[in-house]
Amino acid sequence: MASSQALRSRWSQYYVLTKPRVVQLIVFCALIGMLLAQPSWPDWPVAAAATVGIWLVAAAAAAFNCLIEQHIDARMARTAWRPTAKGELTRPQTLFFSAVLGALGSAILWVWVNPLTMWLTFATFVGYAVIYTVILKPLTPQNIVIGGASGAMPPVLGWAAMRNEVGPEALILCLIIFLWTPPHFWALALYRTEDYRKSGLPMLPVTHGSEFTRLQVLLYTLVLFASTLLPFVQGMSGWVYLISAVVLGAKFIELAYKLWRNYSDALARQTFRFSIWHLSLLFAALLIDHYTLPWQPTL
């Protein structure tokens, strides 16, 4: 009985390394790309293989991130509970786990999806796990902006999985997530500033202060709002999406403005949580229009 409990505990530790909530959002965005890339329902066996492959590689990147940031995580209340930070999993165990997930996910994408998706997913892994985590994050307060390119790739991966190409529609989705990432993450960093100060990471609220960061959040929400109108301009969506984008964008801008003018940790938390709903509902509206509009991407 004790050994069974220990085994479950060990597997739960490995599961935590994959950052399930983050990976779920990545897979959700990739699935949106798959659905929008086809005029009707996608080829479900290919979509299923792509979903599993992308999930595995994303989980591998998350585990590698935990490995690299082991000592940083140990100094932050938000991450001190991670198995790597607590020393429950060794560095060789974590590295092996990440390598197995990455190799398995890449193999699935190569064999059952297409090589383009595999290489794009691998490039995303390198961008997040190496360029962002190892190089940019400890080097510059603009880390989340530059590194956000990797986090914006899931719709492109989903699109490539279905069509074996990267179209302008996929790049628009990528742009939206790229511009969404800074205000989303900086809202979190604002009420976790002391955590990041202790970690030694040059996050924007630490290096440039709260007021400057709040202004950046507001400016990015304005640019983000403009980018969310592009699917309607491009012809990817109709009025359902446009109304949704305007309403959601207005609410995001309202929260960002209040955050800039009258800061509180509670408001920063509210802004961070709403940003997740903003992206999820925005893409849901895209799907509704996609399956009700006569227009579809040219195959």
pLDDT in tens, 31-89: 999 999 988 777 889 999 999 999 999 999 999 988 888 887 778 777 777 888 888 88
More confident of the two residues 67 and 298: 67
Amino acid identity for residue 85 in this structure: A
- Work out the number of other CB atoms within 10 angstroms of the CB of residue 13: 18
Over 50: is that where the pLDDT of 104 sits? yes
**pLDDT, tens only, 263-275:** 999 999 999 999 9
What sections of the chain are H helices per DSSP? 2-17, 20-36, 44-68, 70-74, 83-86, 91-112, 115-126, 143-151, 154-163, 168-191, 193-199, 204-228, 230-234, 239-261, 265-290
Q: Is 252 helix (H, G, I), strand (E, B) or coil?
A: helix
Q: Supply angle C-alpha 194, 126, 9, rounded to 5.
A: 65
Report, as an integer, the average pLDDT of 150-155.
89
pLDDT tens for 170-199 read 999 999 999 999 999 999 999 988 888 887
pLDDT at 98 over 50: yes
Q: pLDDT by residue (tens digit) across 215-241?
A: 999 999 999 999 999 999 988 888 999
Residue written as tokens 């109304």?
243
Taking the C-alpha atoms of residue 144 and residue 139, their distance in angstroms, rounded to an integer, is 11
